[in-house]
Amino acid sequence: MLPVQPDRFLADLHALRGFGAAGTGKGVVRPAYSDADIAARKWLAGRMQEAGLEPRFDAAGNLFGLAEGRSLLIGSHSDSQPEGGWLDGALGVVAGLELARAAREAGAQPVSVVSFQDEEGRWGVTTGSAIWRGTLPLDEADRLTDDAGMTLAEARAAMADLAGDRVDPARFSGFVEMHIEQGPWLDQAGEAAGVVTGIVGIRDMRITLTGQQNHAGTTPMHLRRDAFQGLAAFNALLAERFAGVVSETTVWTIGHVALSPGASSIVPGRAVFSMQWRDGSLARLDEMERIVRDTAAEVAEARGLGLEFGPMLGLDPVQMDAGMQAALAAAAEEVCPGRWRHMPSGALHDASNVSHLMPVAMLFAPSIGGISHDFAEDTAEDDLATGLRVLANAVPRMMAQDGAA
């Protein structure tokens, strides 16, 4: 077991929370490339240097803390949702930092650290790790816009002076991401750890319905081409069409809507909205895409609305590496016997992308009340420390697997 120091780890987690602290509970506002995100990344780079690692930013804004030679990579992301919790992503990055320090202090095989950029998808879906993986070319990513219309290229300019070369994935033996569960199961069962078996797939696109902007007092209902009414009809019809196709674990969300021009006395001329769906089956994700496109086309046609689909973003479902899962399971059984489980992840993680570059595993800590993507997100500090100890126990097992491979 690597000699981790839970106090040092918790102190760093709280220090990271200071960047973008929301003033409401422990929440943070640290979206990718905001001033708070950039300041947090520079602070993390300093902590990496103090830990004997070489900090390196790539062009996407991913921050690596590199150990010399072949190493195990541990990390997650340090950007947040527009209203985020203090642990989503930050936990895995700071756990990586503590493991790297402990490995160095113990003279064990080295650990490198990463904080991926824009995991929360201000511009895409796990943007930074998708660029690192190679499936999202940087020039294509640069043209993506956030909900306010800012391109990634414009945002990246703020860190252009720090951008270095791509880090070669071949230097890492594997990737481990510790994360909060963000769901209710561990907390409800009073368990301390989850060994992730796989991560669901996701599809995400922006849809635009265009009608006729007009006066809300003088335009008779039957003559309106109201973009919001089109969106409302689409949403209702979609639920009916999905009913025969989805499983109990399928989810879909319209999480962002922009009505134009957005005034109580104007019939909205345009509705731009996000349409996201997630499932563990690739075939079902594809079938849902067909239903989304057909339903939107049908509604647009019936109501005389224009229809545009944005780029289709997404990640396919992936499985975690069996050997690394076994190392985490053996460690959990030693550290918190009978208080852990195997479980799938319904949230997306950078580990999805990284699984195409090297073996990956994920460890979950419980989320109090199953709340996340909210300022109220939290985890008992005892549970955070237990998760850290599970990792400290598992990492030498993973290193031994690499040597044996």
Question: Which residues bind to ligand HGY, rule: CB under 6 A?
Answer: 119-121, 347-348
From the list Mn ion, ligand HGY, none, pick the one residue 376 interacts with, judged by a Cβ distance below 5 to 8 Å according to partner type.
none
Which CB sits closer to ligand HGY, 92 or 268? 92
Question: At its nearest, how many Å lie between ligand HGY and the CB of residue 140?
Answer: 20
In SS3 terms, the chain reads as CCCCCHHHHHHHHHHHHCCCECCCCCCECCCCCCHHHHHHHHHHHHHHHHCCCEEEEECCCCEEEECCCCEEEEEEECCCCCCECCCCCHHHHHHHHHHHHHHHHHCCCCEEEEEECCCCCCCCCCHHHHHHHCCCCHHHHHCCECCCCCEHHHHHHHHHHHEECCCCHHHEEEEEEEEECCCCHHHHHCCCEEEEEEECEEEEEEEEEECCCEECCCCCHHHCCCHHHHHHHHHHHHHHHHCCCCCCCCEEECCCEEEECCCCCEECCEEEEEEEEEECCHHHHHHHHHHHHHHHHHHHHHHCCEEEECCCEEECCEECCHHHHHHHHHHHHHHCCCCEEEEEECCCCHHHHHCCCCCEEEEEECCHHHCCCCCCCCCCHHHHHHHHHHHHHHHHHHHHHHHHC
Specify the residue, 120 or 191, whose C-beta has the smaller distance to ligand HGY: 120
Binder of residue 268, out of Mn ion, ligand HGY, none (CB less than 5 to 8 A by kind)? none
Identity of the residue, 51 or 361, whose beta carbon is nearer to ligand HGY in the bound complex: 361
Q: Shortest Cβ distance from residue 80 to ligand HGY (Å)?
A: 10
| Binding residues for Mn ion, total number by CB under 5 A | 2
Q: Find the shortest distance in angstroms from Cβ 84 to Mn ion.
A: 7
**226 scored as a contact of Mn ion (CB under 5 A):** no
Rounded to whole angstroms, the Cα distance separating 53 from 60 reads: 20
Whether 183 contacts 344, CB under 8 Å:
no
Which residue has 């990463």 as its token pair? Answer: 114
* Minimum distance, C-beta of residue 288 to ligand HGY, in the bound complex (Å): 17
Q: Is position 204 an interface residue for Mn ion (rule: CB under 5 A)?
A: no
* Shortest Cβ 369–ligand HGY spacing (Å): 17
Provide, rounded to whole angstroms, the least separation between the CB of residue 123 and ligand HGY: 12
Q: Does 37 bind Mn ion (CB under 5 A)?
A: no
Nearer to Mn ion, 89 or 269 (CB): 89
10 Å Cβ neighbour count for 56? Answer: 20
**Of 31 and 110, CB closest to ligand HGY:** 31
Which residue from 375, 213, 205 is spatially nearest to 273, judged by alpha carbons?
205
194 binds, among ligand HGY, Mn ion, none (CB under 5 to 8 A by kind): none
Q: Kindly state the smallest distance separating residue 117's Cβ from ligand HGY, in Å.
A: 12
Verify binding: residue 317, Mn ion, rule CB under 5 A: no
Does 350 engage in binding with Mn ion (CB under 5 A)? no
DSSP, res 347: S
Residue 348, contacted partner among Mn ion, ligand HGY, none, CB below 5-8 A by kind: ligand HGY
> Toward ligand HGY, which CB reaches closer, 258 or 347?
347
Question: What residue 365 binds from Mn ion, ligand HGY, none (CB within 5 to 8 A, per partner kind)?
Answer: none
Beta pairing class for 270-279 and 251-253: antiparallel
The most distant pair of C-alpha atoms in the chain lies apart, rounded to whole Å, by: 77
- Residues of this chain, 64-123, that bind Mn ion according to CB under 5 A: 88-89
Residue recorded with tokens 């007092």: 217
Comparing CB distances to Mn ion, the nearer of 130 and 233 is 130
CB 120, min distance to ligand HGY, A: 5
**27 contact, one of Mn ion, ligand HGY, none, CB 5-8 Å limit per kind:** none
Give the nearer residue to ligand HGY in terms of CB position, either 55 or 75: 75
- Among ligand HGY, Mn ion, none, what binds residue 75 when CB lies within 5 to 8 Å by partner kind? none
Looking at beta carbons only, is 269 or 366 nearer to ligand HGY? 366
Q: Are 352 and 362 in contact (CB under 8 A)?
A: no
What single DSSP character describes residue 122?
S
Find the shortest distance in angstroms from Cβ 218 to Mn ion. Answer: 45
Nearer to ligand HGY, 79 or 187 (CB): 79
| Min CB(254)–Mn ion separation in Å | 18
Give the binding site for Mn ion (CB under 5 A). Answer: 88-89
